[in-house]
């Protein structure tokens, strides 16, 4: 068609499935485009959506009948829905919009102008992708826009890595579509196959910075992208119908697999290389075929492409790729140039160790105390495997002091690759005497030696360390010492006049912030000394908190305690967001002083804080400045005391390890819980793990009635019952799940109901908040009530005599009241395969506070037995063995521990006794 034969400039294809909460926002991002909605055709294909999305679609179809095409088809997947839409296209250009995303409002106008200027050069124009909601980062492939808006010639070596993996973020000439369609056999990679086949016709793509696709990013752990590694099609279909198909298509067109296509496939293939999740997903024959296909693909990708991918930079992945491709590791092929301190592979890849900006040597922690410098360092293990040039040695120097550290394998995420390497880093700990350090700076530097040829190694830093790499005038005061962290050295000095040094350094910090246009931050930094002088006379600031939007956990309970028993010289303040309910805010303000996260003064109090005591380890708890942290982290001086949200019965070390959260003391409830943290990958010492019990236990009370409480956890595997923000959404397929069948069967079991009627019991069934909208599905009866809202946990715990749960940590709260529990784990294998945490020290069969039942009949039998015995607890010994203290003094123990730690005194004697308990 010619331009005049099209009714619209743009056709926007939108597949609809289960998006009633978001679709209107997506539609409005089109209606309000600056180019005018009259120039846009919206084609909405309802892919058998089970929710009320259709009502929203019809509303706008009625409002814009000339612009909107709406069709409803049986569910066939997103590719089928998009392919169905092509027949209705009546525009010069085609684009896409997923119904939970948005287009920035000037995108179409800017895209049209660019396309018209370069109409004969390109068939595809790619926009930038920026996330919203959970964070506002740009997509990992955004590096291709660093050279600005342009036409990228994919045959040019400079553009080989300008890969395009998504279709929704592109504009396409409708006359370039031809017979290219989305492949319905693909669950992952259908976008990339489709768009790259079109791009290959001209081997060029337009890149436009002025058009922005806004991608809603919610709970990443629940996204298809993150779950793909546990999906069989990720290892089979994607390799066959995406990677191999695209190579074949390119070869048929040009007689070879051009470097750009190699780069596209390498980018996607690298998401599979370096881990062994495929072993959990594929059977033995499928594993063999998968690895054979990976090798076939790698054999057709040049080493230069594998080594220089801008996104996949880790040497571990590159080494894995070489191992599969050549049967020999990359590390065995690397040479070392002693003159320049450079590692290199032929002329394709090099790393200059004295100047590298990566994370091969990362300072994880730094402290100065007792006239000593303490440094914890992560060193990439692969550096020590480059053995082609002889023996490798590593050392640190500080002035004339030299240390050869012990190399301890470290990886909190416990990722094990096919080569069997259990970790990516070595952890090295070292200390140096600072006696004799004066005004002249003394430098700390790491060095590595290959075959006797030594070179220095530049450093990166953890987020808790102030570094000149990110904030040029950065410095840190440790008593009389000044520490400045740079890429090539850590410099320590003792100024003659510390006060004058700090005044000059602060002026430099404020001036720098103004120079870079951050007057807002300069104002905070400049105003803090006055605020500190006014406030510090009121006492040492201790900040308490729970979640950013709620209280009621251990943070509030211990805050109430300290307000009633305030130690001399301590000023307790509770911090919370203004989004919390009025009831919560009024309750907190009645207890004591409250400061809100959104208020400017909160940042001052955060900088003033000596202690932070919280049940949350979220970023808002330990970093008030978010992305502006580098400009203030040198002023952070608080100790973080963590109470956790429930007993730590799972393995959370990837998140709660010392180097990620900088926890000073981790409060525990049981001896085994504490030992699991000490022995695990948390990097916490015995002195940092203190058994106090959770302060929230102090708020528990007993008002038991003849009530059976059924309170199971949620299931990540039941996808339709929650959105990617893990908010409850109604899912009509819920009634077909084993979860529903089990618990609906339990609360309607005639044997159980008869026994409860006989003994005068009632029942209360409470769903996890994530599943609460499914409450209407459960069948009520004369015995069981169905809770349909949020739960007052303390109240239902108090009034119940026995509880049924599955894997939830709330069982510990109920057990604290010495009441019997029945665990229902009919889906144990699937639960641990798909849920968000790993098994920990707590084995339910061995350690649980009640019988573990794997089917409905045994659960009913267990409950009838308990009810017949008037809820006598046969597992009371396990309860008393787990909980070191069952009393109302958990808050007191927490505050006593913080005070003892503050005074640097020996821990109270009752803690010492607990530590030695077996």
Whether the predicted pLDDT of 835 surpasses 80: no
| Span 185-204, average pLDDT | 96
Q: What pLDDT shows up at residue 296? A: 98
Domain 701-882: top CATH class: alpha beta
Asked whether 441 and 492 are in contact (CB, 8 A), the reply is: yes
Helix axes 284-299, 315-326, angle to 10 degrees: 100
Domain 352-503 fold: Immunoglobulin-like (2.60.40)
| Span 39-46, average pLDDT | 98
Q: What pLDDT shows up at residue 376? A: 96
Q: What pLDDT shows up at residue 910? A: 44
Helix-, strand-, coil-residue percentages of the chain, each rounded to 5: 40, 25, 40
| Span 17-30, average pLDDT | 93
Q: Calculate the CA dihedral of residues 473, 427, 220, 129 and round it to 10 degrees.
A: 50
Task: Give the whole-number percent of the chain exceeding pLDDT 70.
Answer: 93
Q: Give the pLDDT band (50/70/90) at residue 459.
A: very high
Q: Give the pLDDT band (50/70/90) at residue 902.
A: confident
Residue 840, both tokens: 């920990």
Q: What pLDDT shows up at residue 719? A: 61
Whether the predicted pLDDT of 794 surpasses 50: yes
CA 767 to chain centre: 25
Q: What is the CATH number of domain 519-646?
A: 3.40.50
Q: What pLDDT shows up at residue 917? A: 42
pLDDT in tens, 287-325: 999 999 999 999 999 999 999 999 988 888 898 899 999
Q: What pLDDT shows up at residue 332? A: 86
Strands (E), 591-679: 593-596, 611-614, 639-642, 663-668
Whether the predicted pLDDT of 389 surpasses 80: no
Q: Give the pLDDT band (50/70/90) at residue 208.
A: very high
Residue 419, both tokens: 């080569």
Q: What pLDDT shows up at residue 62? A: 96
Q: Calculate the CA dihedral of residues 275, 277, 282, 283 and round it to 10 degrees.
A: 90
Mapping DSSP to helix (H, G, I), strand (E, B) and coil, where does residue 379 land? strand
405 vs 392: CA distance, rounded Å: 13
Whole-structure pTM value = 0.78
Q: What pLDDT shows up at residue 1? A: 42
Task: Give the whole-number percent of the chain exceeding pLDDT 90.
Answer: 74
Q: What pLDDT shows up at residue 4? A: 54
Mapping DSSP to helix (H, G, I), strand (E, B) and coil, where does residue 604 land? helix
Q: Give the pLDDT band (50/70/90) at residue 37.
A: very high
Asked whether 783 and 756 are in contact (CB, 8 A), the reply is: yes
Whether the predicted pLDDT of 221 surpasses 60: no
pLDDT in tens, 517-562: 999 999 999 999 999 999 999 999 999 999 888 898 999 999 999 9
| Span 211-236, average pLDDT | 72
Q: What pLDDT shows up at residue 413? A: 56
244 vs 250: CA distance, rounded Å: 10
Cα separation of the two ends of the chain: 82
259 vs 153: CA distance, rounded Å: 12
Q: What pLDDT shows up at residue 907? A: 54
- What does the buried/exposed string (b/e) look like for 576-586 if buried means 16 or more CB atoms within 10 Å of the residue's CB? bbeebeeebbe
Q: What is the mean pLDDT of the chain?
A: 91
The answer regarding whether domain 3-218 maps to CATH 3.40.50.2020 reads no
Sign of the C-alpha dihedral computed for residues 511, 512, 518 and 523 taken in this order: negative
| Span 147-152, average pLDDT | 97
Q: Give the pLDDT band (50/70/90) at residue 717.
A: confident
Whether the predicted pLDDT of 914 surpasses 70: no
Residue 482, both tokens: 């000044």
Q: Does residue 329 or residue 178 have the better pLDDT?
A: 178
Whether the predicted pLDDT of 119 surpasses 90: yes
């Amino acid at each position: 068609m010619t331009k005049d034969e099209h009714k619209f400039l743009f056709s926007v294809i939108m597949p609809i499935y289960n998006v009633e909460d978001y679709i209107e926002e997506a539609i409005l991002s089109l209606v309000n485009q600056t180019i005018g909605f009259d120039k846009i055709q919206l084609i909405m294909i309802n892919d058998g959506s089970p929710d009320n999305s259709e009502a929203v679609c019809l509303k706008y179809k009625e409002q814009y009948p000339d612009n909107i095409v709406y069709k409803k088809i049986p569910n066939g997947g997103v590719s089928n829905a998009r392919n169905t839409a092509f027949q209705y296209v009546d525009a010069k250009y085609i684009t896409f919009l997923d119904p939970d995303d948005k287009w920035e409002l000037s995108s179409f106008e800017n895209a049209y102008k660019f396309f018209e200027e370069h109409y004969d050069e390109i068939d595809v124009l790619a926009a930038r992708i920026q996330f919203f909601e959970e964070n506002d980062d740009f997509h990992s492939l955004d590096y291709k826009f660093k050279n600005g808006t342009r036409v990228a010639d994919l045959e040019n070596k400079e553009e080989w890595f300008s890969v395009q993996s998504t279709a929704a973020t592109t504009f396409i000439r409708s006359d370039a579509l031809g017979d290219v369609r989305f492949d319905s056999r693909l669950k992952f990679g259908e976008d990339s196959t489709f768009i790259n086949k079109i791009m290959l016709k001209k081997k060029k793509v337009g890149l436009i910075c002025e058009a922005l696709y806004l991608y809603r990013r919610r709970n990443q752990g629940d996204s298809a992208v993150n779950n793909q590694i546990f999906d069989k099609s990720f290892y089979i279909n994607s390799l066959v119908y995406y990677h191999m198909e695209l190579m074949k298509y390119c070869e048929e067109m040009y007689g070879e697999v051009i470097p750009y296509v190699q780069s596209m496939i390498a980018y996607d293939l690298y998401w599979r290389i370096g881990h062994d999740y495929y072993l959990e997903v594929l059977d033995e024959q499928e594993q063999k075929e998968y690895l054979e296909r990976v090798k076939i693909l790698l054999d057709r990708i040049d080493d230069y492409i594998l080594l220089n991918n801008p996104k996949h930079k880790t040497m571990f992945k590159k080494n894995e790729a070489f191992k599969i491709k050549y049967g020999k590791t990359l590390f065995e092929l690397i040479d070392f140039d002693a003159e320049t301190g450079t590692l290199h592979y032929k002329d394709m890849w090099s790393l200059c160790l004295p100047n590298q900006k990566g994370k091969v040597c990362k300072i994880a922690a730094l402290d100065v105390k007792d006239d000593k410098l303490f440094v914890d360092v992560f060193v990439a293990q692969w550096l020590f495997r480059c053995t082609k040039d002889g023996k490798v040695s590593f050392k640190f120097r500080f002035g004339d002091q030299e240390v050869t550290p012990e190399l301890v394998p470290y990886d909190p995420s416990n990722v094990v690759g096919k080569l069997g390497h259990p970790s990516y880093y070595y952890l090295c700990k070292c200390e140096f005497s600072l006696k004799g350090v004066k005004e002249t700076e003394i430098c700390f530097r790491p060095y590595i030696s290959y075959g006797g040829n030594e070179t220095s190694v530049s450093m990166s830093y953890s987020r808790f360390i102030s570094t000149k790499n990110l904030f040029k005038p950065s410095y840190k005061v440790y008593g009389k010492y000044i520490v400045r962290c740079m890429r090539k050295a850590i410099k320590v000095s003792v100024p003659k006049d510390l006060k004058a040094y700090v005044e000059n350094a602060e002026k430099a910090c404020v001036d720098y912030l103004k120079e870079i246009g951050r007057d807002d931050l300069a104002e905070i930094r400049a105003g803090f000394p006055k605020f500190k002088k006014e406030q510090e006379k009121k006492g040492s600031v201790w900040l308490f908190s729970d979640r950013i939007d709620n209280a009621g956990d251990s943070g509030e309970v211990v805050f109430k305690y300290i307000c009633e028993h305030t130690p001399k010289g301590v000023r307790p303040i509770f911090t919370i967001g203004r989004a919390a309910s009025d009831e919560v805010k009024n309750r907190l303000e009645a207890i004591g002083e409250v400061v809100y996260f959104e208020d400017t003064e909160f940042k001052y109090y955060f900088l003033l804080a000596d202690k932070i005591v919280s049940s949350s380890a979220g970023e808002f708890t330990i970093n008030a400045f978010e992305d502006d942290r580098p400009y203030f982290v040198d002023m952070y001086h608080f100790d973080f005391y963590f109470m956790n949200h429930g007993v730590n019965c799972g393995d959370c070390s990837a998140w709660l390890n010392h180097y990620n959260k900088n926890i000073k003391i981790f409060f525990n409830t049981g001896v085994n819980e504490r030992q699991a943290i000490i022995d695990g990958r948390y990097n916490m010492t015995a002195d940092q793990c203190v058994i106090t019990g959770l302060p929230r236990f102090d708020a528990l009370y007993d008002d038991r009635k003849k009530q059976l409480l059924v309170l199971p956890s949620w299931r990540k595997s039941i996808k339709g019952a929650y959105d990617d923000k893990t908010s409850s959404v109604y899912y009509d397929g819920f009634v077909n799940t084993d979860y529903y069948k089990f618990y609906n069967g339990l609360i309607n079991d005639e044997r159980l109901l008869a026994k409860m009627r006989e003994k005068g019991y009632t029942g209360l069934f409470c769903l996890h908040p994530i599943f609460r909208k499914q409450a209407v599905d459960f069948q009520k009866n004369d015995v069981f009530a169905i809770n349909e809202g949020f739960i007052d946990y303390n109240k239902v715990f108090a009034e119940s005599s026995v509880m049924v749960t599955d894997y939830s940590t709330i069982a510990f709260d109920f057990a604290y009241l010495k009441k019997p529990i029945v665990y229902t784990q009919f889906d144990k294998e699937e639960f641990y395969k798909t849920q968000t945490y790993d098994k920990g020290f707590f084995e339910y069969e061995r350690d649980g506070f009640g019988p573990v039942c794997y089917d409905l009949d045994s659960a009913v039998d267990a409950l009838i037995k308990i009810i017949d015995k008037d809820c006598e607890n046969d597992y009371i010994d396990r309860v008393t063995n787990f909980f070191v203290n069952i009393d109302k003094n958990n808050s007191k123990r927490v505050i006593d521990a913080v005070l003892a730690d503050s005074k640097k005194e020996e821990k109270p004697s009752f803690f010492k006794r607990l530590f030695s308990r077996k």
